[in-house]
Structure 1
Amino acid sequence: MPVKVNHHLPAVKILASDNIFVMDDKRAEQQEIRVLKILVVNLMPRKMVTETQLLALLSNTPLQINVDFLYMATHQSKNIRQNHLDTFYKSFDEIKDEFYDGMIVTGAPVENLAFEAVDYWQELSTVFDWSRLHVYSTLHICWGAQAGLYARYGIPKHALTQKLWGIYHQTVENPKHVLFRGFDDDFVAPHSRCTTTYASELPHDFEVLSCGERSGLAIAVKKNLREVYSFGHLEYDRMTLDFEYQRDKAIFGENIMPDNYFPNDDSTQKPRMNWASAASLFFSNWLNYAVYQDTPYDLRDLAKYEYFNL
């Protein structure tokens, strides 16, 4: 079912070519149903790629979704034209009086910096504070997960001895949890990071839902599902790690293969795509059980609900 976006967004044409239905704003205006409002805080440098990846996953549900994209006004993007941001994105000042059923905070290639050294850290921290009264459930991804835990609870990230990079097995710790309905006992997911978060440092009202022998803590949630933290990249498409591999080899002269990615560790071969079903199911479960089932019909009532623990 459809995700509603500006009909000129380049990702719409790409998804249509893959037979993925994205409803444009003109058609959506003719429907008389309560759509879900999702805010995507896109911190990734290749914004158009991330837009396409996330919209493909959000569209795989029987729900109509209105998606807004947010950029950091305090950061000068180097990999996207300002015209794209002006046309398809909003600044925090433009959305600060809005309310959303859900929010997605992407990763960002800044994990080797201290959080406070990131040029848009203060702005992002403001978004996290704002979300407590304006967003029902937030899905944090990779560095976005580490940033959320640090901003909200002061939980630090820890440097790894070597980069965690590739496709890794993860276990389902609680098969009965709503976010893992339909999952097998284990699955694989892409990871690409130099830092990690320790499960032992999570607040008492959190639950670890997935971890791996190599990946460590993979997915954790606040028990009321208002906050979901995924430290991998289930949203990655088949060729994302290949792009990162080719980029790093060209820039740094490194030839470090992502683990369990290229067949026979041969970068000339097409990478295996073996996490798509898990990604689709995870995002669908988040939209259904963490967002749709509990969000108040009138989003202005968000601040009135006792279970927000405010």
Structure 2
Amino acid sequence: MPIRIPDQLPARKTLENEGVVVMDKSRSARQDIRPLQFGLLNLMPNKERTETQFARLIAATPLQIDLSLVRITDHDSKNTPEEYLQTFYQTWEEVRERKFDGFVVTGAPIANLPFEDVRYWPEMVEIMDWTQTNVHHTMFICWGAQAALHHFHDVKRFRRDKKAFGVFRHRVLDTRSPYLRGFSDDLAVPVSRNNDIDRSSVSSDLEVLIDSEEVGICMLNDRKYRALYMLNHLEYDNRSLADEYERDVKAGLDPELPANLFPGNDPSQMPENRWRSHAHLLFQNWINEIYQTTPYDLGKVGTGEW
């Protein structure tokens, strides 16, 4: 895996401790190849945890990838110090003239708000349109996926009667998809959302790749807008759902135990990760497909000239 991230980024030490080889700038310059350019628009409050989760998956490839951390331009984070953001992140305004081979847009903890009521929605619309001219392929996650489906396809969403929270079995609908090579016929996927998308509003332009009778559509492919929409969280680590549960308990919200997460439904036990292999496989397939189809001349990304 060669992935290049800022030298002092906390995620770097975590990845190195896991055996991931992180490349510095001088070493990458000696390799006579064009590194793939990836961006991560991190909308989550816990920036460090989220960037580590996605860097871990993007790193699982023999290709050299430069990962740029991006944030909304005019948004003050309540959970991440400004010094941290100034050190490791660029605003979207600072990267909007760049081209990217791959781009990830994360979820955001604002699911209860109508899209147009989100304070940074106008910039989100600009970013989503910008992916069509400056990004070869985009993966939208959770709220990011719902936002892009709403913007590009007018897909409707609705509030669930009960929050989908836990680890649920899903089935693969298209084993021929290049993004699902090597996937089992069914898989466990972490889910944490109060909203769902309305199946009747999903047009024929969208291909449902992974689905669940219990908690709804999981992932869709969009050939027209060169995007994948992942509504759930294969990137989660062992304790992501457990920490969310404990946070809500401490807040007095009386949450239900995450389904199928703790061994014996005992929250004192460490959750077992039953989705890690599919998370790595999805990102390896996605990156491989980008590598096979992106132009060598990065300037031609988004122009249709290749």
Q: TM-score, structure 1 length as denominator? A: 0.95
3-state DSSP class of the match of 1:85? helix
Q: After the TM superposition, which residues 272-287 of structure 1 pair with which residues of structure 2 at under 5 Å, given as runs?
A: 272-287=272-287
- Residue in 2 aligned with 1:173? 173
Contact 1:198–1:217 (CA under 8 A) maintained in structure 2: no
Identity of paired residues, percent? 39
Which range moves more in the overlay, 50-59 or 222-231? Answer: 222-231
- Residue in 2 aligned with 1:67? 67
Return the offset for 1:154.
2.4
Q: After the TM superposition, which residues 36-47 of structure 1 pair with which residues of structure 2 at under 5 Å, given as runs?
A: 36-47=36-47
Distance 1:80 1:29 in 2: 31
- Residue in 1 aligned with 2:216? 216
Distance 1:220 1:303 in 2: 21
Contact 2:73–2:93 (CA under 8 A) maintained in structure 1: no
Return the offset for 1:203.
2.9
Q: After the TM superposition, which residues 14-163 of structure 1 pair with which residues of structure 2 at under 5 Å, given as runs?
A: 14-163=14-163
- Residue in 2 aligned with 1:267? 267
CA RMSD of aligned residues (A): 1.4
3-state DSSP class of the match of 1:23? coil
3-state DSSP class of the match of 2:287? helix
Return the offset for 1:306.
6.8
* CA offset digits 1:232-287 (Å, max 9, x no partner): 10000001111101111111341411110011211001111100000000111011
Q: After the TM superposition, which residues 238-277 of structure 1 pair with which residues of structure 2 at under 5 Å, given as runs?
A: 238-277=238-277
Contact 1:42–1:50 (CA under 8 A) maintained in structure 2: yes
- Residue in 1 aligned with 2:185? 185
3-state DSSP class of the match of 2:232? coil
Return the offset for 1:205.
1.8
- Residue in 2 aligned with 1:295? 294
Contact 1:74–1:119 (CA under 8 A) maintained in structure 2: no
* CA offset digits 1:61-118 (Å, max 9, x no partner): 1111011111112221111111111111111221111000011000111001111111
* CA offset digits 1:153-196 (Å, max 9, x no partner): 22222110010000011101011111111111111110100001
Contact 1:104–1:141 (CA under 8 A) maintained in structure 2: yes
Contact 1:199–1:208 (CA under 8 A) maintained in structure 2: no
Distance 2:123 2:303 in 1: 25
Return the offset for 1:225.
7.4
Distance 2:252 2:125 in 1: 32
Which range moves more in the overlay, 58-67 or 19-28? Answer: 19-28
- Residue in 1 aligned with 2:205? 205
3-state DSSP class of the match of 1:75? coil
3-state DSSP class of the match of 2:116? helix
Distance 2:160 2:4 in 1: 39
Return the offset for 1:224.
5.5
Distance 2:71 2:239 in 1: 24
3-state DSSP class of the match of 1:233? coil
3-state DSSP class of the match of 2:293? coil
Return the offset for 1:54.
0.5
Distance 1:30 1:203 in 2: 47
Amino acid at match of 1:2: P
Which range moves more in the overlay, 102-111 or 28-37? Answer: 28-37
Contact 1:167–1:258 (CA under 8 A) maintained in structure 2: yes
Contact 1:164–1:192 (CA under 8 A) maintained in structure 2: yes
Matched residue count? 306
Distance 1:224 1:33 in 2: 29
Return the offset for 1:34.
0.7
Distance 1:6 1:68 in 2: 9
